[in-house]
Amino acid sequence: MYQKTKLKNNLTLITSPLKQTKAVTVLIQVPVGSRYEKKEINGMSHFVEHMMFKGTKLRPTTQDISKELDSVGAEYNAYTGKDHTGYYIKVTADKIELAFDILSDMLFNSVFDDQELQKEKGVIVEEINMYEDNPLMYVHGLFEEIVYGNHPLGWQISGPRSTVKSITRKQMVDYKNKYYEPANMVMTIAGNFSKAKVNTLTKKYFNAGSKSKSKKSFSKINIKQSAPKIRLINKNTEQVQVGLGFPAYGLDDPKKLPLSLLGIILGGNMSSRLFTVVREKHGLAYYVKADVSSYHDTGTLYIQAGLDRKRIKEAIKLILSELKKIKDIGVTDKELSDAKEFLKGKFSLSLEDSENIAEWLGRQQVLSNKIYTPEQKLKKIFAVKKDDIKKVAQEVIQSKHLSLALIGPFKDKKIFSKLLKI
């Protein structure tokens, strides 16, 4: 499925051939995100990502980059998380050198022009405005603010407007140079490619730079929560956006897999418990879902729903009732079997696309420094037992660990604090 090697500069190279496609994805990931930042530069990782598309020594403007990629119908983008950042270009197999050329140019030769930097501040402020004006998007960030508090994991990836406006070019270049070392990067190539061609291109475009890797660290979190927490954003909306959940397990914790299956049974699809009860039986929501997310040292079990504001208390009570049932009684053999098959199916289908394969392999390497094959991953999934799920449910689903984020036409927390019992 994949091969992993190190270049002379200690950049990690992962290759995964997929002959049944005509596409190839080249992805670069760097283990840096908003949790690595200081308060005074919160938003820097995201800002750097934006500026990578604003001109290089060889391609001085955004248009020089985008026109070259658009001319071959490429798909390209970048993303910033709290723990890593990624840049990818997906092209037809015969255009693979263009992907190497432009990615290396962006990563090593971006000029960070000060005029462009000042303009981009306005763009990012508008991105923040868009995010906060969309309750469907904003509620999850709000939920993590409650769970993680004033730890960097509780900060918004984009940073506050005031910090974005105050960032200087020197701060940005220093930050970029600190984290964007070749030895800190993981390059993943997935799709239809010649191994010999890839070897030639990596030597040509990615073999330069220091092979040393300076020590990078982040502040670990220790969550101590002894009572439910609530955060309300008063907004005159017809539909109320609710995010509620609990702190859970880190990326490499063996309990994460049973919790992931629990999340599927609770709200992972249209036959899940929450979807069936909250939407189909009671008509209280258009959508309701459960998800499990993880960082190095912690994570969450998270439920999000768009609810009828006139029946909000009824809906929250119903969600909490389903959480109590799954905690007290557990899951059935059929539910567990179906959840495993659902996860297997989704996982297998995702691996038909070069972009998804590159992201899956690279993410494992950049965050955990180890890679499981699909067969190894599925073996672990199918080894989970009902008792494993019940144990994590009882450990995670506790009233004192509950956090509620809500965006809607409400001001008084007391309306909801009385409901938060499981």
> Annotated active-site positions, please?
49
CA atoms of 378 and 176, how far apart (whole Å): 37
Q: What tokens were used for 366? A: 């950049």
Q: Quick one: which H or E segment has residue 273?
A: helix 273-274
CA atoms of 147 and 228, how far apart (whole Å): 10
Contact 407, 142 (CB under 8 A): yes
Nearest to 169 by CA among 115, 126, 124, 216: 115
Q: What tokens were used for 155? A: 């900060």
CA atoms of 297 and 256, how far apart (whole Å): 12
Instruction: Kindly state the greatest CA–CA separation across the chain.
Output: 65
Question: DSSP characters for 107-127?
Answer: HHHB---HHHHHHHHHHHHHH
In sequence order, what are the beta bridge partners of 232? Answer: 406
Strands 239-247 and 299-308: antiparallel
Contact 48, 118 (CB under 8 A): no
Q: Quick one: which H or E segment has residue 25?
A: strand 23-30
Nearest to 235 by CA among 161, 155, 328, 134: 134
CA atoms of 126 and 193, how far apart (whole Å): 39
Contact 293, 300 (CB under 8 A): yes
Q: What tokens were used for 335? A: 């539910």
Q: What tokens were used for 46? A: 């995201």
